[in-house]
Copies of this chain bind each other. A is one copy, B any other.
Amino acid sequence: MIEPPPPSPATPEDQVAALAASVRGIDPAFAVASADLHLRLTKPRGSLGLLERIGAQLSTLARQVPPPIPEPAAVVVFAADHGVVAEGVTPWPQVVTAQMVTTACSGGAAISVLARGVGASLLVVDVGVVTALAPHPNLVDRRVRHGTGNIRIEPAMTPAEAAAAIRIGYDTAVRLATEGVGLLVGGEMGIGNTTAAAALIASTTGRPTAEVTGRGTGIDDVMLAHKITVIDDALERAGNRLAPLDRLVELGGLEIAALAGWYLGAAARSVPVIVDGVIALAAACVAVDLAPAARETMIAGHRSTEPGAAAALEWLGLEPVLDLGMRLGEGSGAALAVPIVRAAAAIMNEMATFDDAGIDGPS
């Protein structure tokens, strides 16, 4: 069940650096052309707000004005378990990760409903669940190891394992892009993963642990205080000034590493990718730390109420499309943003210009 990384003579660091190097910069000329088109559409200047900014981003990525409608959309949920649950950071037993994967595959998870609602496909990729999972057409078994180590006392994974998980995410995004997918949404499942995400965000942003640690599935004050202690211990053990790959090795999760690779793959193919949830944002920080231009491909879908999400969004410099007070994970907030991203492109393709419509200008 454990799949080794693709054979390569290079070190894990070199493997990841090669993926990061595949991300190229953008050409701002298409954002200028996008703004010019928006001025000619039959509406007051700037009146579509964020839709105009998304339209410029889609134009830049597609190198085309108007940009193609970003469809079809594909949602991929990466799932893995976390050794740190041994520290009592969540009331949920670890088996729930596998149960939620099964629920997602059979169409009953929140992300299943929301993906279906916006016409997106859904795939679950197991990169490190502990519990055995029955085969399912919507489930891809790419288990790198059976859950991470307990980050309070040991590294989450080896550098080779982190590189392998990154590669799985990268290849998944590249494969979907090759198949013609126009919009990517990454999600995650993993009991305990808000602990790993908070540790990564604290390490990336330098913010105090208490500022970036939230209640996850809804823990009480006592458990929250304990969670912060556990994360502080992990950060102290891991040390300061970690390189992005080392950060995943020491504090990460396998689904987080896969998501980091997913963002690099999306960026390498210039496919817009919607980011949502504190775990996905922790992964996005790693991706941008590895390849700063990866940020140009990202659209923040939703402002999670988890405090680490706000810190990561600020660090990334991203303004979310939605703010619905959600904190469910799975990519749920990102899926809800899909119609709005599509609308930003549709406006540019389908609205009449003042010339088309023969509309009199202002006096």
Q: Which residues of A contact B (CB under 8 A)?
A: 41-51, 90-93, 95-96, 99-100, 102-103, 106-110, 112-114, 116-118, 216-218, 305, 321-328, 332, 336, 339-340, 342-343, 346-347, 350-352, 356-360, 362-363
Q: What are the residues of chain B within 8 A of A351 when measuring CB–CB?
A: 108-110, 112-113
Given contacts A118-B339, A325-B49, contact A113 B357 (CB under 8 A): no
Report the bound CA distance from A106 to B116 in whole Å: 30
The one of B96, B117, B324 in contact with A49, judged by C-beta atoms closer than 8 angstroms, is B324
Known contacts A108-B351, A117-B342; A359 and B99 CB within 8 A of each other? yes
Q: Given the complex of chains A and B, what is the CA–CA distance between A92 and B340 in angstroms?
A: 29
Give the docked Cα–Cα distance between A342 and B321 (Å).
18
Verify B336–A340 contact, CB threshold 8 A. Answer: yes
Contact check: which of B114, B321, B357 meets A103 at CB < 8 Å? B357
Given A51-B324, A323-B323, A350-B113, A360-B95 contact (CB < 8 Å):
yes
Q: State the number of copies, please.
A: 2
Supposing A99-B359, A351-B109, A363-B91 touch, asked if A327 and B44 sit within 8 A by C-beta, the answer is: yes
Q: Is the CB of B343 within 8 A of A49?
A: no
Chain B residue at smallest Cβ distance from A44 = B217
Known: A92-B362, A103-B357, A323-B323. A343 touches B113 (CB 8 A): yes
Main secondary structure of the interface of A (DSSP, over half): loop
Contacting pair A218 B363 (CB below 8 A): no
Query: B residues within 8 A CB of A350?
Result: 107-108, 112-113, 116
CB within 8 A of A51: which of B48, B218, B326? B326
In the assembled complex, 21 residue pairs joining A and B whose CB atoms fall closer than 8 Å, in A order, are A42-B103, A44-B217, A44-B218, A44-B328, A45-B218, A46-B218, A48-B110, A49-B324, A49-B327, A50-B325, A92-B360, A93-B360, A96-B359, A100-B359, A109-B351, A112-B350, A113-B343, A114-B347, A118-B339, A321-B324, A322-B322
Residues from chain B with a CB closer than 8 A to the CB of A216 are 44
Which B residue's beta carbon lies closest to that of A357?
A: B103
Q: Please name the residue on chain B nearest to A107 by beta carbon.
A: B350
Given A116-B350, A326-B49, are A43 and B110 also a contact pair (CB < 8 Å)? yes
Q: Distance (Å) between the CB of A268 and the closest chain B CB?
A: 29
A108 with B339: in contact, given A49-B324, A103-B352, A328-B44 (CB under 8 Å)? no
**Across the interface, do B339 and A117 meet the contact criterion of CB distance under 8 Å?**
yes
Shortest Cβ distance from residue A307 to the other chain B in the assembled complex, whole angstroms? 15
- Closest CB pairs A-B (n = 7): A49-B325, A108-B352, A91-B362, A44-B217, A47-B328, A50-B324, A339-B339
Asked if A346 contacts B113 (CB within 8 A), the reply is: yes
